Amino acid sequence: MYSIRTHCYPFLLLGLIWPFTLLALSSDRDQPMHLEADSVSIDEGTGVSLYEGNVIITQGSLKLWADKLWIYRRDGKTNKLTSEGKPTRFRQLNDEQVEVRGQALRAEFYVDRDELLLFDDAVLEQGVDQFRSDRILYNRASSQVKAGGSADGKQRVQVIIEPQKKTIP
């Protein structure tokens, strides 16, 4: 274990800046990242860091709240983040200035695949449209959302798509 103040601040910044480009406003990655937690454990040998207790991350338009956050690194790169909470939540603007919000009991961010997986009581909202299921996959690169398909199938997919408002000439 290392002291966060003396040894890990550069590690934290490098490890955290890239993962949240998943749903990001393009300019968010150029903003400073702020991380708060009640405690942190960093194991450089395994490449796993654990942040616990009222975890809050902000970077540009991104804000994430969790009870626990694991960061997995290999060969100097962040590969995956896993957050847990009751619920773990996030919000962020996309390039169209539409707020994307999500929550679940567990979330996994896969950096290389540009994917976000939400598990258990999952909700993903983009603007006024909403997806609910026990499992939601969002791929930012392809702008695809897939919901449902969990092993136990405990919850059917619910989708709410609001109609476009007509403009009066």
pLDDT, average across residues 8-27: 44
Coil, helix or strand at residue 75: coil
Radius of gyration of the chain (CA): 17
Q: Which residue has the higher pLDDT, 108 or 158?
A: 108
Band of pLDDT at residue 167, cut at 50, 70 and 90: low
Coil, helix or strand at residue 137: strand
Choose from 20-29, 134-143, 149-158 the range with maximum mean pLDDT. Answer: 134-143
Q: Is the peptide bond before 87 cis (omega within 30 degrees of 0)?
A: yes
What is the per-residue pLDDT for 2? Answer: 39
Q: What is the pLDDT of residues 111-124, one digit of tens each?
A: 788 788 999 999 98
Say which DSSP state 28 is in: G
Q: What integer best gives the mean pLDDT of the chain?
A: 77
pLDDT, average across residues 100-104: 90
Rounded Cα gap, residues 66 and 36, in angstroms: 10
All domains of the chain in start order, with CATH: 4-160 (2.60.450.10)
